Amino acid sequence: MSPDETTESQAEFDHDVVIVGGGPAGCSAGVFTGRYGLDTVIFDRGRSSLRRCAYLENYLGFPAGIDIDTLYGLMHDHAEEAGCELVSDLVEAVDENETGFTVTTQEGRTVTARRVVAAARYGGAYLKPLGDDSMFIQYEYEGEERERFNRDYPDQDGRTPFEGLYVVAPVTDINAQAIISAGHGARVARTVISDVRRDQGYPDEIAGHWDWMRRAAELEGDRDDWREWFDDRVPDDCDLSEEKLRELREADIDRRLSTYLSEEEVEARTARGHERLAEHLDVGTEPGVKSTPNAE
Ligand SMILES: Cc1cc2nc3c(=O)[nH]c(=O)nc-3n(C[C@H](O)[C@H](O)[C@H](O)COP(=O)(O)OP(=O)(O)OC[C@H]3O[C@@H](n4cnc5c(N)ncnc54)[C@H](O)[C@@H]3O)c2cc1C
């Protein structure tokens, strides 16, 4: 799917979005932002909740369960297929700069981004440089004073009091199950995308984002009907110039039209989808020997 207009990063940032954590929450968020065309990098290293699970039996779509290495391979491959860059490195600090964030890693990488998505279930200390004490709460454990990330800091859509900072994890008990974490990653990514669209100038009425693919047979009307649909939703008090509005309208129509697939495209994607899935399975090879390059 192509992005509307230019991505934000072309002007001022290394990336539109930095995601901290490549587990179910972070990869799911990355699949959405990457598919929308936002330049997204996912850093993934360090303590993982999922890696502590012996074997996952309640993640929808795997009737006899899925081992954690294979699921990690599938998630990372999916995020990369969606356009994300996956970097095996630990984020140590997220700090503010004049227009967004600077992210520093254990291996000495420094990248800038307009938006950061926190998606590491354990920890959150890397957000400390932002200097907001209300992000953390103190608690006592076996007589010892400890500190942890305040799970009520973000709202339900992942927004925080810091413009451009979103949190998928850690939050409430949403992160208690892997599939709910993945779902929340998608929800927060939709928030990010609609905020990007608002910044690009789309009025609220059109800023929402649905990542749906449809059959071409369902496509009704021509380009002029889509223009009418768009214009009907632009509020009367919209202060965009005609030229800017036209630019946004045409880009939005291009994006919407690209989500309709012919029967041939559905067939081709089905075949490719099965092949890509099979790359991760060890069926037909010696037991325990995986055919995927992602397996460890
Ligand atoms: C023992 C155990 C068993 C479990 N069993 C099940 C089960 O059977 N079914 C179920 O649904 N759920 C189970 N869970 C819960 C499940 O693991 C979580 O719900 C899910 O993994 C949360 O996903 P997440 O992406 O939020 O966090 P995580 O899975 O923790 O993923 C976070 C990722 O971020 C990376 N990371 C962390 N810090 C940084 C950093 N600073 N910079 C860069 N990367 C970072 C980590 O390496 C990790 O890959 C279990 C949990 C545990 C502890």
Question: Is the CB of 116 inside a 6 Å radius of any atom of ligand 1?
Answer: no
Q: What does the pLDDT read at residue 33?
A: 98
* Residue 8 clears pLDDT 90, i.e. is over it: no
Residue that finishes a domain, picked among 174, 200, 226: 200
Inside any domain, residue 255: yes
Are 36 and 133 members of one domain? Answer: yes
Tokens representing 266 are 């559905």
Are 244 and 104 members of one domain? Answer: no
Are 19 and 89 members of one domain? Answer: yes
Question: Is the CB of 24 inside a 6 Å radius of any atom of ligand 1?
Answer: yes
For the segment 266-289, the average pLDDT, to the nearest whole number, is: 85
Whether 36 contacts 43, CB under 8 Å: no
What proportion of the chain, given as a percentage, has pLDDT over 70?
92
Are 232 and 130 members of one domain? Answer: no
User: Domain tally for the chain?
Assistant: 2
Inside any domain, residue 266: no
Are 194 and 233 members of one domain? Answer: no
pLDDT band at 43 (very low <50, low <70, confident <90, very high): very high
Question: Is the CB of 46 inside a 6 Å radius of any atom of ligand 1?
Answer: yes
For the segment 219-237, the average pLDDT, to the nearest whole number, is: 93
Inside any domain, residue 164: yes
Are 196 and 126 members of one domain? Answer: yes
Q: How far apart are CA 194 and CA 208, in angstroms?
A: 5
Out of 47-51, 74-78, 121-125, 207-211, pick the least confident.
121-125
* Residue 5 clears pLDDT 70, i.e. is over it: no
Distance 272 CA to ligand 1 centre (A): 29
Distance 81 CA to ligand 1 centre (A): 22
For the segment 33-42, the average pLDDT, to the nearest whole number, is: 98
Are 23 and 95 members of one domain? Answer: yes
Q: Parallel, antiparallel, or unpaired: how do β-strands 110-119 and 165-169 relate? A: parallel
Residue that finishes a domain, picked among 175, 200, 225: 200
Tokens representing 73 are 């391979």
Distance 8 CA to ligand 1 centre (A): 30
Residue 176: domain span? 8-200
Residue that finishes a domain, picked among 180, 200, 220: 200
Contacts of 121 (CB under 8 A, 6+ apart): 21, 23, 25, 48, 49, 169, 170, 175, 181
Are 43 and 117 members of one domain? Answer: yes
Q: What does the pLDDT read at residue 11?
A: 58
Q: What does the pLDDT read at residue 7?
A: 53
* Residue 4 clears pLDDT 50, i.e. is over it: no
* Residue 291 clears pLDDT 80, i.e. is over it: no
Angle between helices 68-81 and 24-36 (to 10 degrees): 20
Q: What digits encode the pLDDT tens for the residues 66-125?
A: 999 999 999 999 999 999 999 999 999 999 999 899 999 999 999 999 999 999 999 899
Whether 186 contacts 79, CB under 8 Å: no
For residues 284 and 215, which has the higher predicted lDDT (pLDDT)?
Answer: 215
pTM, two decimal places: 0.93
Inside any domain, residue 184: yes
Burial of 41 (0-12, 13-18, 19+ CB in 10 A): buried
DSSP states of 142-170? TTEEEEEE-TTSS-TTSB-SSTTEEEEES
Residue type present at position 35:
R
Q: What does the pLDDT read at residue 6?
A: 44
pLDDT band at 286 (very low <50, low <70, confident <90, very high): low
* Residue 133 clears pLDDT 50, i.e. is over it: yes
Question: Is the CB of 90 inside a 6 Å radius of any atom of ligand 1?
Answer: yes
Inside any domain, residue 129: yes
CATH code where residue 83 lies: 3.50.50.60
Are 239 and 155 members of one domain? Answer: no
E-strand stretches of 13-89:
15-20, 40-43, 85-87
Instruction: Please give the radius of gyration of the chain, using alpha carbons only, rounded to the nearest integer.
Output: 21
Are 155 and 235 members of one domain? Answer: no
Inside any domain, residue 107: yes
Q: How far apart are CA 256 and CA 14, in angstroms?
A: 27
Inside any domain, residue 293: no
Are 234 and 159 members of one domain? Answer: no
Q: Which atom of ligand 1 is nearest to the CA of 169?
A: 26
- Buried b / exposed e over 5-36, threshold 16 CB at 10 Å, is bebbbeeebbbbbbbbbbbbbbbbbbbbbbbb
Inside any domain, residue 187: yes
CB atoms within 10 A of CB 186: 15
Are 80 and 135 members of one domain? Answer: yes
